[in-house]
Amino acid sequence: AQRVTQPEKLLSVFKGAPVELKCNYSYSGSPELFWYVQYSRQRLQLLLRHISRESIKGFTADLNKGETSFHLKKPFAQEEDSAMYYCALAQGAQKLVFGQGTRLTINP
Amino acid sequence: DARVTQTPRHKVTEMGQEVTMRCQPILGHNTVFWYRQTMMQGLELLAYFRNRAPLDDSGMPKDRFSAEMPDATLATLKIQPSEPRDSAVYFCASGLGNRDEQYFGPGTRLTVT
């Protein structure tokens, strides 16, 4: 069965420190993965997708098929990065399977 | 700036009552999704539609939940009868399908007492 696992429910780092949010997936087909983010009092929105291979707000994520991972990284965390982050896997043509989310807190 | 809208934003009801949540997708989007968010389960897909036709509602408890799209500008999610375990935030999202980005509404926070 397709599954997305985010092992950390909570992650706290200091401003300026590197941050990595872990995401592992299980999928028998060709995976397409996304990171969605929900800032306080805002709606859930797309942060980045693996096929675009771009950096958004300083975040990057590389698909590692060997390790079935899609970890989200940023070299220097900023306070405005505090939010809830969800990793998601596209199942079939349209359906997304989400992980349970990681709440990231950046301490000043 | 087109956005998905959801009503009501908050709903408190007693166990056994019917609850109807509404969603207006972004004009031109042909795919609509309903999700439920809880602390324990995270975000779960309940149902989704393409061109108003239900494609998958396997995530939805069939005995009490129903989802419809009476027209292209309105999607509804109904719970009858509601139970305390239905307390959650219900999100609607719309998109163009084919693994395109999904645009989320603000959610309806449902509390069943």
pLDDT tens track for B43-72: 999 999 999 999 888 889 889 999 999 999
A98 touches chain B (CB under 8 A): yes
Least confident of A48-57, B27-36, B66-75: A48-57
Closest C-alpha among B55, B50, B2 to residue B27:
B2
Q: Which residues pair with B74 in a beta bridge?
A: B71
Q: What are phi and psi of A66, to 5 degrees?
A: -65, -40
pLDDT reading at B2 higher than 90: no
pLDDT at A53: 79
pLDDT reading at B74 higher than 80: yes
Closest C-alpha among A53, A16, A21 to residue A37:
A21
pLDDT top residue among A29 and B15: B15
pLDDT at B41: 83
**Nearest C-alpha in A relative to B48:** A95
Tally Cβ neighbours within 10 Å of residue A42.
11
pLDDT at A29: 78
**Mean pLDDT within B94-102:** 83
**Mean pLDDT within B34-38:** 94
pLDDT at A93: 65
B95 touches chain A (CB under 8 A): yes
Q: How large is the greatest C-alpha to C-alpha distance in chain A, in angstroms?
A: 42
B45 touches chain A (CB under 8 A): yes
Token code pair at residue A6: 């985010």
